[in-house]
Structure 1
Amino acid sequence: MTIAASLPIARAQRNLAPLCLAAASFLLLLVSGDSLLHDPDTLWQIKVGQWILDHRTVPWTDLYSLTRQNEVWLSTSWLSQVLFATTFAWWGWAGPVVLTAAAIAVAMALLLAFLQRHLDLPYALVFCLLAMTLAAPHLLARPHVLALPVMVAWSGALMDAADRGRAPSFLLLPLMALWANLHGGFVLGLALVGAIGLEALWRADAPRRLTLAMQWAAFGLGALAASCCTPYGIDTLLGAARILSLGKSFSVIAEWRPADFSAFSPFAGALLGLLGLALMRGLTLSPPRVLLILSTTWMALAHVRSIESFGVLVPLVLAQPLSGWIRPAADAPRSLRMAAGAPAAMVAAAIVLGSASATVAFATHHAFAFSTAQTPVAAVDALIAHKAARIFNSYGFGGYLIVRDIRPFVDGRSELYGEQFLMDYFAAEDGRDVSGLLRMLDENRIEATLLTADSPAAQILDHIKGWKRVYADNIAVVHVRDDQAEAPSSG
């Protein structure tokens, strides 16, 4: 207390709003933690992480697929996979849930801290809640979420440098190296260097522009070099490029599909709100900021996966222009601060300890479980009973087959399979190409199929000579070739 009393008042008045938001977000996500375990990709991410830990190296070729054995495959999310595998090994499903919730909470706290540099707390909180709402459908125990706080820190720091008319500090480069090891989305961070650098040049005085341009260019080259500080080196960029080269197959993968406006959604509301904000009082932005918002909006319109980036980047771009446009609330403090001389550090420690205690108590009494819709346990047991090894599966079941040490026909590693393979596969599985389905089954010497209960391909095989349904429940349907079939059963 004596030491605290001797500190300057400004230091004692610490901003606790980001910490409070982080604690609230974390506890909310923890209580609803089962909702974070609804993606089949989580299963194979943990499996790959376990392999990396066991072999002390990263994979360079495919280890699991039936149709792409030994082909080149780089795990651009290897560090996230190791983190998920480690926490899962220690605490079961509670580990990935707590890790994911913590990453989201830190991202929201960082976003609020950056926004509060220009906006009063109520307005900054609105933007944070909007970002959380937009990202909600994609908040899952997967590598992109672990990279989310890094994306916020990187984007916010670049935007802050541009607002000040400066070049970013080279001390930010380790963030890019961390991002490149966590998730392939680091290419967005590289693109932001150029886009936000244009804003810095636009704001700078003419005599300084050349020097500033050289500083931003040097930082960009440093960021490019930092992104290669991974076990794959420069091949990291090639791995990310393969993901971006999937072309038309993006339209058949749920998270890469264009945004759907047939019904009202939070994203539609955000776009309308942004338009209304621009029209109501004529908010004027610099051309580089306009370009940033338009580019981010186009990304979100083209792929629903990019909506979370929209929710983070647009508020950061708008914060500084809005600071002089929105009239501050009369009684609203600029941030949540302790009274002068109060032991703010003790309050912060109490919040952290309270959250940790609540986490231990909840995780001890609540058994987190992975989504049963993605884990066809009984159906795979039936496949094993029939000794089927070459299996044609629905896309969402690939991760579970990998966990059961069965090579899937296809799984969530879309960059491994490529555009043409995925287009042909989905046309066959969706029932749009029956001849293609039969050709795939024959050419790949498929012995059995594992399809979702509502799969058109499953309904087609019910009427195809040479195939017989041997198991069905409300999750999956199993067909085998006639010469391997036994009496049908149902779960």
Structure 2
Amino acid sequence: MPLFVVMLFMVFGHKKVIWPDFFLAAGLFYATMKSVRFLPYYAIEWPLLLGTMTSDWPFRRIKGFLVAPILLVLSVILLVDKPLIPAGKPIGEPVLAANYLEAHHGRVFNMYSWGGYLISRHIPVFIDGRTDFYLQGNQINQYMAVKHLTKNPNIIWKQYNVRYVLWAPKTAVATYLLSHSQEWMPVVRTKTAILFQHRGTW
């Protein structure tokens, strides 16, 4: 949507387009479509491009004494207002499982959505949100094969010498592991996640 707005200004506006800035914004837009981790860079670039294209608009000439109070009020609101989710209380994250993994080392096969959180806890992961990075290898396909049980998970886990599997309850993988309790033992179990430990060696 932001890039579409910029293109409208290019077609109907009177300001000369700064092509290097436009191609930078377009490149970041493409990168963002490939991986969400580029979104902050795109969010910074496109307003700058839009600002240069509207620099001669009348509203840009508003006096500073009118803008300053507005910015001051917004700053106070941001500083005083309490966040919706208090810091230090992650919601929907496998906190107890991460606590256990910090004290018990071993290779972890984790759910995609928890990769970033585990990395923030300094726990090595099998996969995380850096999809473009993992597309270079076979890990995405292996992860999907385990998730949908299209292949015997133990074959993949043995390949990576996986000691722990961190997965959401009431899923196909969790059901599979619970039904193979002779090989996999739940060591942490909450409403959010179940951490399974492999019994013995591969």
The TM-score normalised by the length of structure 1 is 0.31
Contact 1:176–1:186, Cα closer than 8 Å, also in 2: no
Aligned to 1:483, the other structure's residue is in SS state: coil
Equivalent runs, 1:179-328 vs 2, <5 Å: 179=25, 185-187=28-30, 240=31, 243=34
Contact 1:396–1:411, Cα closer than 8 Å, also in 2: yes
d(CA) in 1 for partners of 2:70, 2:90: 31
Task: Give a deviation string over 1:67-118, Cα, whole Å, max 9, x none.
Answer: xxxxxxxxxxxxxxxxxxxxxxxxxxxxxxxxxxxxxxxxxxxxxxxxxxxx
- The Cα of 1:377 is off from its aligned counterpart by 1.6
Q: Does 1:388 align with 2:102?
A: no
- The Cα of 1:422 is off from its aligned counterpart by 1.8
Choose from 18, 31, 50 the match for 1:171.
18
Q: Which runs of 5+ in 2 are unaligned?
A: 37-58
- The Cα of 1:369 is off from its aligned counterpart by 5.2
d(CA) in 2 for partners of 1:351, 1:434: 59
Q: Percent identity?
A: 21
Choose from 406, 414, 417 the match for 2:123.
406
* Distance verdict in 2 for CA 1:359–1:243, change over 3 Å: closer
> How many residues align structurally?
175
d(CA) in 1 for partners of 2:101, 2:197: 9
Task: Give a deviation string over 1:427-450, Cα, whole Å, max 9, x none.
Answer: 3123x3251x11111111111111
Contact 2:101–2:123, Cα closer than 8 Å, also in 1: no
Contact 1:389–1:406, Cα closer than 8 Å, also in 2: no
1:159 matched to which residue of 2? Answer: 8
Choose from 468, 481, 484 the match for 2:185.
468
- The Cα of 1:379 is off from its aligned counterpart by 0.7
Contact 2:108–2:126, Cα closer than 8 Å, also in 1: yes
Choose from 346, 350, 356 the match for 2:75.
356
Aligned to 2:188, the other structure's residue is in SS state: strand
Choose from 144, 149, 156 the match for 1:426.
144
Q: Does 1:459 align with 2:175?
A: yes
Higher helix share: 1
2:95 matched to which residue of 1? Answer: 377
Aligned to 1:449, the other structure's residue is in SS state: strand
- The Cα of 1:426 is off from its aligned counterpart by 1.8
- The Cα of 1:360 is off from its aligned counterpart by 1.6
Aligned to 1:422, the other structure's residue is in SS state: helix
1:439 matched to which residue of 2? Answer: 155
1:481 matched to which residue of 2? Answer: 198
Task: Give a deviation string over 1:390-445, Cα, whole Å, max 9, x none.
Answer: 11111111111211222101111111122853233123123x3251x111111111
- The Cα of 1:363 is off from its aligned counterpart by 4.8
d(CA) in 2 for partners of 1:350, 1:379: 47
* Distance verdict in 2 for CA 1:176–1:353, change over 3 Å: farther
d(CA) in 2 for partners of 1:391, 1:357: 44
- The Cα of 1:376 is off from its aligned counterpart by 1.3
Task: Give a deviation string over 1:350-393, Cα, whole Å, max 9, x none.
Answer: 222111111122159x84456421x31211222233x2321111
Equivalent runs, 1:126-137 vs 2, <5 Å: none
Larger RCO (CA under 8 A, 6+ residues apart): 1
d(CA) in 2 for partners of 1:393, 1:427: 13
d(CA) in 1 for partners of 2:6, 2:128: 36
Contact 2:184–2:199, Cα closer than 8 Å, also in 1: yes
* Distance verdict in 2 for CA 1:462–1:357, change over 3 Å: same
* Distance verdict in 2 for CA 1:462–1:243, change over 3 Å: same
Q: Which runs of 5+ in 1 are unaligned?
A: 1-150, 188-239, 245-254, 256-336, 338-342, 485-491
Contact 1:383–1:478, Cα closer than 8 Å, also in 2: no
2:46 matched to which residue of 1? Answer: none
d(CA) in 2 for partners of 1:388, 1:368: 27
Higher strand share: 2
The TM-score normalised by the length of structure 2 is 0.70
Contact 1:469–1:479, Cα closer than 8 Å, also in 2: yes
Letter in 2 for 1:461: L
d(CA) in 1 for partners of 2:89, 2:99: 18
Contact 1:447–1:481, Cα closer than 8 Å, also in 2: yes
Larger radius of gyration: 1
